[in-house]
C-alpha cells in the first residue's frame, strides 16, 4: 500500500515535498523530541531529505532544538521538537454558551486557557475573540504564528465561509477567517469542530496508531468524525458527520437547523441542561447541571435516562455504519459518574449489532477541540511552505 502511494507521489515533486514535510512534522508532534537520524528511521524518509526538511523547518522557526538527549550508541544527535518556547499559536473553540480560547506550542500542547460567554451579535463575537487573543498573546514572549478557530457546523473550507452553524447562528454565511484576520491581524484558519477533535485525538490522544475510529462530541451539538483505513471521512464537500441532525422525534423540540426532534435536541450536555431547566422550572446551565449530577442526581433521573438512551442510539448508528475499533466521547454529563457511563455502554449493546459492539472500545477522549484548532494552524503553516 505504501509502495504504490509513494510511487504515485514520485511523479509529482511538489506533492512528494508536501508528503515528506507533513510526515516529519507529524512524527515530531507525536513522538518528539527526536534526532534527525531517529526521524529518518521513524518516517522511512532518506536521511539527506530529512536534513533538508529540518533545515527548512528551522529556518521558518517551526522547530527548535531540545535539551532532551535520548540514549544512543556513539555520539548522540541533537534532538529536535516542534517549537514550544520560541513560537506559539492561539486556538479558539466556539460553542452555544461559551468561547474557549487557548495558547499552544506547535506540538498542540495547551499552556494557557481562558473563556468568556458567547455574545449575541457577530460584531460582538469578533471583538470578544480579539480580546481573548490579545490577553493570551501577552502571557508569553513567543512569536504568535496564527489563529485556529473550531466552529460547530458546516464550513466551506475553500472560502473559509461558515455555511450554517445551528448552535452559533450568528455565524451563518460569515467569512469568519477573513474577518478575524482583520480583527486580530493574525492569519486565521477556520476548521469544523469535529475535524479539530479528530486531529487532536489522532496526534495527541487515544487514537494514536488507530486506523479505524470515531469521535462523538456531545457538548453543544452532536457531531461525529470518522477515520476509516487511516483516512478522514469527509463526504462530497467535506461536510459529513452531522449525526445530531438525524430526526428521532418528529414531534419534539425545534432544533437550530429548523427541524423538530433532532438527536442533538435530546442527547447533549446543552439539551440535558434545557430538559432539567424545564423539570426544575428555573434556568440551569451546563455547569449547574454537573453540580446536580454530582450532588442530587435523583432529582433528574428520568431526564438523564432519556439522554443516555438517545446517545446510545447515536453511538449504535456509528458502530453499525463504520465498524470502528473505538468510539471516543467528548462531553460532560455521560462522564459525571461511573454509573451513568456504565449505563450508556450497556445500552449501546442494545442499539448496535452485538458482533460489532463487542469489538469496539468506547471511552472518553483525552484531547480537546482547542488542541485540534491549534494543530490545524500548524498544518496550514506547513502547507504554505509547499506553495511555490
Q: What is the CA radius of gyration of the chain?
A: 22
Of 3.40.50.2000, 3.30.200.20, 3.40.50.300, 3.30.420.40, which CATH number belongs to 87-197+369-385? 3.30.420.40
The answer to whether the predicted template modeling score (pTM) of the entire model surpasses 0.75 is yes
Q: Can you tell me the mean pLDDT for 122-140? A: 94
pLDDT at 45: 95
Q: Can you tell me the mean pLDDT for 174-181? A: 96
pLDDT grade for 232, boundaries at 50, 70 and 90: confident
Fold agreement between 2-82 and 87-197+369-385: no
- The class of domain 2-82 in CATH terms is mainly alpha
Q: Can you tell me the mean pLDDT for 368-385? A: 94
List the CATH code of the domain at 207-364: 3.30.420.40
Packing angle, helices 269-280 and 286-295, rounded to 10: 70
Distance, in Å, from the CA atom of 236 to the CA atom of 360, rounded to the nearest integer, reads: 27
pLDDT tens digits along 141-167: 899 999 999 998 888 888 889 998 888
pLDDT grade for 97, boundaries at 50, 70 and 90: confident
Omega within 30 of 0 (cis) for the link into 33:
yes
Residue 376 scores a pLDDT above 50: yes
Q: What grid cell was written down for 235? A: 463526504
3-state secondary structure 61-87: CCEEECCCCCCCCCCCCCCEEECCCCE
pLDDT tens digits along 279-300: 999 999 999 999 999 999 999 9
pLDDT at 9: 37
pLDDT at 12: 53
The residues spanned by each domain of the chain are 2-82, 87-197+369-385, 207-364
Residue 81 scores a pLDDT above 80: yes
Residue 11 scores a pLDDT above 70: no
Amino acid at each position: 500500500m505504501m509502495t504504490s502511494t509513494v510511487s504515485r507521489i514520485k511523479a509529482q515533486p511538489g506533492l512528494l515535498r508536501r508528503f515528506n514535510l507533513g510526515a516529519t512534522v507529524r512524527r515530531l508532534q507525536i513522538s518528539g523530541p527526536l534526532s534527525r537520524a531517529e526521524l529518518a528511521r521513524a518516517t522511512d524518509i532518506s536521511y539527506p531529505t530529512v536534513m533538508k526538511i529540518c533545515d527548512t523547518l528551522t529556518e521558518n522557526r517551526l522547530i527548535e532544538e531540545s535539551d532532551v538527549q535520548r540514549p544512543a550508541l556513539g555520539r548522540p544527535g541533537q534532538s529536535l521538537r516542534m517549537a514550544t518556547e520560541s513560537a506559539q499559536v492561539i486556538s479558539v473553540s466556539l460553542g452555544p454558551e461559551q468561547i474557549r480560547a487557548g495558547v499552544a506550542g506547535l506540538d498542540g500542547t495547551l499552556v494557557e486557557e481562558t473563556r468568556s460567554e458567547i455574545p449575541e451579535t457577530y460584531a460582538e463575537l469578533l471583538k470578544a475573540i480579539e480580546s481573548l487573543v490579545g490577553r493570551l498573546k501577552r502571557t508569553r514572549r513567543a512569536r504568535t504564528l496564527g489563529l485556529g478557530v473550531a466552529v460547530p457546523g458546516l464550513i466551506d473550507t475553500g472560502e473559509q465561509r461558515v455555511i450554517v452553524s445551528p448552535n452559533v447562528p450568528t455565524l451563518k454565511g460569515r467569512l469568519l477567517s477573513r474577518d478575524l484576520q482583520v480583527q486580530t491581524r493574525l492569519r486565521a484558519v477556520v476548521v469544523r469542530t469535529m475535524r479539530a477533535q479528530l486531529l487532536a485525538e489522532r496526534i495527541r490522544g487515544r487514537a494514536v496508531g488507530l486506523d479505524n475510529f470515531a469521535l462523538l462530541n456531545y457538548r453543544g451539538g452532536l457531531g461525529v468524525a470518522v477515520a476509516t483505513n487511516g483516512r478522514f471521512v469527509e463526504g462530497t464537500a467535506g461536510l459529513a458527520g452531522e449525526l445530531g441532525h438525524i430526526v428521532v422525534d418528529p414531534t419534539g423540540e425545534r432544533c437550530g437547523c429548523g427541524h423538530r426532534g433532532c438527536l442533538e435536541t435530546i442527547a447533549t450536555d446543552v439539551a440535558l441542561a434545557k430538559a432539567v431547566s424545564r423539570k426544575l422550572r428555573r434556568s440551569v446551565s451546563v455547569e449547574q447541571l454537573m453540580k446536580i449530577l454530582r450532588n442530587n442526581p435523583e432529582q433528574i433521573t428520568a431526564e438523564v435516562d432519556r439522554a443516555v438512551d438517545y446517545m446510545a442510539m447515536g453511538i449504535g448508528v456509528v458502530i453499525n455504519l463504520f465498524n470502528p475499533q473505538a468510539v471516543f466521547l467528548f462531553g460532560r454529563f455521560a462522564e459525571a459518574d461511573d454509573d451513568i457511563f456504565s449505563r450508556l455502554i450497556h445500552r449501546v449493546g442494545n442499539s448496535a449489532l452485538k458482533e460489532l459492539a463487542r469489538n469496539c472500545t468506547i471511552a472518553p477522549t483525552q484531547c480537546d477541540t482547542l488542541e485540534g484548532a491549534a494543530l490545524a494552524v500548524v498544518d496550514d503553516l506547513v502547507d504554505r511552505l509547499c506553495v511555490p
